[in-house]
Amino acid sequence: MTDPVEQLVTAIRDSIDDQTFQKLTLGKFQNDPPSPSYGATGPPPPGRRGDRAASVQNVYVRIVNLKTGPHLSFVYRYLNQDITKNSPIPEGIEIITGWLGGTCRSATLLTSKGRQQLLFGRRGQPRLFSQDSSSSVGTSRAHDREKVRLLRDERALELLGVIDSGGRPRAQMGNKYRQVHHFIEALAPILKGASPGETLHIVDMGCGKGYLTFALHQLLRENGLNPVTVGVEKRDSLVESANAIAGQLGDNSIRFIQGEINDVDVKPIDILIALHACDTATDDAIYRGIQEECRWVVVSPCCQHELRPQLTAPAGLEPMFRHGIQVDRMTETVTDTLRCLYLEAWGYQTRIQEFVGTEHTAKNLLIVASRARKPGPSQDLVERALEFQHRFGIQNQRLQTLLMA
């Protein structure tokens, strides 16, 4: 019989490979776990053993896309702060394996297929508990059938494996199906700003498998527009598979190319999209959109780490900065507020809204910016952004640096 620890490690690997991984929570540490930056046998992160405030409460693991490729992001939750370390996926799995059954006595893996929890008894014997998500998927399928669909033709979603030939979400794909529809619903107002028959050039930076790329392309076509869409993705295998699907659809107005935000040469761009671009990659995407004078810039920020070391509490708000998790959330809020302020200073109207529900991802904000006037900075609005920025002790912010270079 396979050891429960090995079963969980295998499940972690498989969920990463088939892109169903959502989150891994590690807890009940007997001692502080080592830092991913040092490897499985290296020294622990800062803290004195026995000091509750300096001891790790939990470690949360998720996948982030960095410029060097996908990594495992380890968030160490202390009583008064969080520390984030990123590790290449193979090294990260090795670290997790070293912890399980040793310093770590509890692990919960959450995927779109279900939930698995590893617990250890008093004598150290491991037990693995599994809960399938099929029942909740069945409920959501019925709900999806009742909803009014924004797309009449969902062949792309069928070829991508999201729905079956009857238009029903496949097992474990209910969340993805709802995410796709929530996304195009959020962008439906773009239709009001375009003229019938107009050609719109769309670039989706970091498009992955192209779920949302194909969906937005189809939405615009079904509403009398002529979209010309380019999906940009770093991984060659995903570019190849997405182009194969475009070929099966017989649609030569959508294509996929290999590249990244800063190096791909695609013009013109009317709508620029960058979803879950990690940390300052979101700023790079916004800057690219402003430079290209895009009519719409749509980003879903992720991992807003840049400002955390600089962030200080304005007078009177010190109680909101007492705990690490509060500072993390404040960092996200201040970062995205600054992005909106600089977009507005350069001629865009902005709105922030929910992208997908928190049961799918904690990173669920969507910034939608539409060009409201001739591109270029408004001095009054630039000063407003700088005043807000300096109020939180921030001297440098990536988008500000790019715009003012």
Residue 209 makes CB contacts below 8 A (sequence gap 6+) with 19, 160, 238, 241, 242
| Rounded (5°) CA angle 32-33-38 | 125
Indicate the pTM of the whole model: 0.65
As a whole number of angstroms, the distance between CA 233 and CA 14 comes to 22
Residue 175 has a pLDDT of 83
Average pLDDT for runs of 10 along the chain of length 405: 83 88 87 52 41 69 82 82 84 89 86 87 82 50 47 91 88 85 83 87 94 94 93 94 96 94 91 87 94 94 85 92 88 94 97 65 77 91 97 95 93
**What sign results for the dihedral spanned by CA atoms 286, 292, 293, 297?**
negative
Of the options 3.40.50.300, 3.20.20.140, 3.40.50.150, 3.30.70.120, the CATH number for the domain spanning 153-403: 3.40.50.150
| Residue carrying structure tokens 């960092």 | 331
For 287, counting Cβ atoms within 10 Å of its Cβ (0-12 exposed, 13-18 middle, 19+ buried), the class is buried
Q: Cis before residue 268, ω within 30 degrees of 0?
A: yes
Residue 356 has a pLDDT of 60
Nearest to 184 by CA among 224, 211, 206, 147: 211
| Rounded (5°) CA angle 176-159-110 | 30
CB burial of 241-255 (b: ≥16 within 10 Å; e: otherwise) equals bbbebbeebebeebe
Domain ranges of the chain: 4-132, 153-403
SS (H, E, C) the chain: CCCHHHHHHHHHHHHHHCCCEEEEEEEEECCCCCCCCCCCCCCCCCCCCCCHHHCCCEEEEEEEEECCEEEEEEEEECCCCEEEEEEEHHHHHHHHHHHECCCEEEEEEEECCEEEEEEECCCCCEEEEEEECHHHHHHHHHHHHHCCCCCCCCHHHHHCCCECCCCCECCCCHHHHHHHHHHHHHHHHHHHHCCCCCEEEEEEECCCCCHHHHHHHHHHHHCCCEEEEEEEECCHHHHHHHHHHHHHHCCCCEEEEECCCCCCCCCCCCEEEEEEEECCHHHHHHHHHHHCCCCEEEEEEECCCCCCCCCCCCCCCHHHHCCHHHHHHHHHHHHHHHHHHHHHHCCEEEEEEECCCCCCCCCCEEEEEEECCCCCCCHHHHHHHHHHHHHCCCCCCHHHHHHCC
Residue 80 has a pLDDT of 66
